[in-house]
Structure 1
Amino acid sequence: MVWIIVAVCEELRVNRCRTEEYKCYQTPGGRSCGCWLAGQSGVSGQGSYPKPSISISPGGVIPWGGNVTIRCWHQRLGMKILLYKDGAGNYLTYTDPAGSEAEFPITSARREHGGSYTCRYSNRSVRAAYSEPSDPVQIIVADPSLPRPSISLNLTSVTASGADATIRCQGQHVDVRFFLHKAGDLNPQRHMDPAGVAAEFHIPTVGQQHGGSYSCSYRPRSEPFISSQPSDPVQLVVAEPSYPKPNISLRPSGRVALGGAVTIRCECQCRGARFLLSKAGDLDTRRSMDAAGDVAEFPIRNVNRGDAGSYSCQYSTTLDPPVWSEPSDPMELVVAEGTDPAGPQQPDLPTTEPEGEEPRNPKPNISLHPSRQLALGGAVTIRCECRCQGARVLLSKAGDPDARRSMDPVGDVAEFPIRSVSQGDAGSYSCQCSTKWDPPVWSEPSDPVELVVSDGTDPAGTQQTDPPTTESEGEEAPPEHPDFTQANITRLALGAVVLLILGPILAEVYYSRPMGAS
């Protein structure tokens, strides 16, 4: 008769049973051991047969009320298979399969089903011989009563190769162990036992292999087989360094008034790519687009202060998983202070700002000195005057972002000289003032002023004629278009006088001839 006796062994430090005639093995987790009567059963401490294999399906954390199956198999026939659970003492159940494998289903998983399981097999004879225990497998059950943790990534948008990333998991309880999971991998990537309620998982020198979807969970240290539900996923996207970064620009360029419209344009050396537009520090503003060509346009139809900031874009393949480019250089969208251009205009604000309101700079004045019309090679100074002290002044030329110039004047006037005017300097100029805060607050643009460059020689050569005296004071007539109206009237009057004088003379000569003269 086979007697299987289970002895209670000293926790975590048991090497043998209490009596010499029993053989002992420590169950997974080290909390108890199983003993059997070696003399009558014929089972040695090492087992008479090779250990079987064991698996669970599905793997990973089992949802509350879910189903899981433990499968155990070996390479012999005519054997019964027994299932053990750590801490349960004797075997839980056994089966006599027709073949060499057995399945142990668990339906509607609960807390009590969580644990570490092994299996072994034995012959069916009176003098039983047992195999060694299998390697352990764990069943982790998700308890919906535990609050779900939150997860965040210190990097926004797509991460460049070689950067350092940190994934932070935040819970509500202490004395827990956090686990970091990556989609597609049933085993947790890493675990951590923090002192508080949060854990940070650092990924130094990010590479392509680190890209993927991450989530985290935690398990109470007192119940290692009970888990919280996983957090929402966070995506770690790693850029492919061989993909050239795209270009980003604004249409129209320059500052945008409140309520105005602007389009952020992203362009790459690619076809049929997916574009992602990101704003620094604001994950909620991310927008994506599948472009038919190599350009994607993201319009903002009614600009507000919240739209101001630093933008960048990236593109990816449409494969699954996608491969992303490096991010573009950042581009700053500056929203000028003022009202919506379509609405009523505000009067100039007083110099003393109401308490709690953000100061605004009034519209500056712009002028050209000495004149708005210049000959090639001449000199001109564009003068911008702000009704403020210590402002930063920006000079812009319509249609030419490269012509922008800025200055921090000592007073309230900034002067931008052009020492040798060329045809390329001609155009419409405006200026704006801003505070030196971070972020700056910009005024509305000044009224535009037109710089006209006439074709002609350098002012050091042939001088231009003075403008006609008929021009009203304060106005200048363009030298290349003189006024001929008065001269033409004078010529016509002289012609009429000559005709009046010649008419009677010719008539007298005609009638004074003799009648018979031939």
Structure 2
Amino acid sequence: MTLWCQSASCGTRFTLHKDGEDKPVQTIDSLQDKAGFLIPHVTHEHAGTYYCLHHRGEDLPTLALYSDHLELSVSDSLPKPTLSAETDLMIAPRSNLSLKCKKPDSDHIPQRWTYLLLKEGNSQPLQKHTTTGSWAKFNLLSVTDQDSGNYRCKYFEFQNPQRESEASSALEIRVKDSGSRSVSIALSCVIILSLFLLAFYHRSYIGTVMTKQRLTHQHQGLKTMKQ
């Protein structure tokens, strides 16, 4: 983790302080108007309130040169990210799919994060991406049936891999089988044809019944005339 301190002028000495400690935590002489205080491996001992100040040459810092206080809390795990897909979760074989892993936007200080894409049944991450952003994109190219399954993601601090997040909720990806689609289309055609034949048979049956009734009435009419 890096804590940044910035001033209005260049060529100053920056010191990082923590409430409760008499001596500065770190001191940096910088030719720029800012300095980054690196904390390589964050532990619970680093939790507390920090502030920085800068000196102009050998002058003692004035009250105006003190920064605002920053509260740093250290938890056992980082907040859980979310995993989402940019397209439908049911896709055709040989298609491309993009998954987005996003962590909560809680950064007050820019730092690097490493995002991992996980799949149930695989012991190792499928992909890894390091960025300073609050999200990372993973691309699954030319997918097959073997890419179907439940996916998750998580992230950790690039400079402190031991501090990582919980895994996201599972996202189920299903790759449609083209053979199943053909069977489905064929079955639909059979159903439509069956309905057509049933309608044709019903119409023919009604026509036959009406013809018989008409002939019966005509025959009865002839018998009446003869009598």
TM-score in terms of structure 1 length: 0.25
Higher relative contact order (CA 8 A, sep 6+): 2
TM-score in terms of structure 2 length: 0.50
Q: Which has the larger radius of gyration?
A: 1
Normalized per residue, the structure richer in helix is 2
